[in-house]
Structure 1
Amino acid sequence: MGKNAPYGDGELRDLAMALMRDSLERNSPYLDLSHLKLSSLPEAIPEQLPTIDVSKNRLYMLPECLPPTLLRIIAAQNKLVTLPNNLPKGLVELNISYNNLKSFPEHLPSSIYMLDISDNQMEGAIGNLPESTTHLDLSTNKLKKPYQTNSLNSLNI
């Protein structure tokens, strides 16, 4: 996990490392690190992964250097207060629902088409929503309108 990251109570870090090794050995397209009570993620996530599920942990942040191959990040039900400035440029799906985000994420990749940021503590206005976004869930937040909805097929507020 992170070099200087403290171990939290009950974290299943050994299992997380075993799951990562197994994913690498099998060249798996999906890494499931959910429900492991992790407070931090490894600094080096396997490069071949298109999808990572880190939901239902205790994460306050995601690593700054995520693999550029990631297409989907599922980080719901954590304690995220911010996102990395450099999300993978090819990211198409981001689920960060049920976290502690206070403002609309900046620096979203232009490729994102599905964004779930429901059930956070966001207030204020929506920033730069990528034009590629077709599905957006903003429910259970306190965001101000107007929303730029030209390209949206699905909007939940």
Structure 2
Amino acid sequence: MHLVKTDSENKDFKDLVSQLDAYLTIVDGDEHDFYHQYNSIDALKNTIVAYIDNKPVGCGAFKAVDSNIVEVKRMFTRPETRNLGLATKILKGLEDWAKELGYKKCILETGKRQVEAVQFYNKNKYKVIPNYGQYANIENSICFEKALI
């Protein structure tokens, strides 16, 4: 497995995000349109694609919130490659990249119905915080943060 730093123009990243969106359409149900409006990949300059045997199997990204904070976005691994530690490697890659660029903290939002995602972020030492920004009054949302030390 290897990670490639890229941006949102990368074809493999776009293909993986399409698979993620198809999954989220089902999981988010009636709330999908609300969430989807905040998940545009048009301006993501910091994306990672994971490959196994030169096949794209996972991705993640971050975008700057301010000069100290990035928001983790578009985390996904293909179902057949889950439970191999790929998501943790992608997330760690994003955290390290953000840290290299001088950021101090990662934040993110996921849905409470995405039980595996909630467990994943807890396992990776993210702490639950009050819902921020557009997620402030959204009952299904759960927000996390992690200091980049």
- The structure with the greater share of residues assigned to helix is 2
TM-score normalised according to structure 1 size? 0.28
When Rg is computed on C-alpha atoms for both structures, the one with the higher figure is 1
- TM-score of the two chains, using structure 2 as the length reference: 0.29
Larger RCO, structures 1/2 (Cα 8 Å, 6+ apart): 2
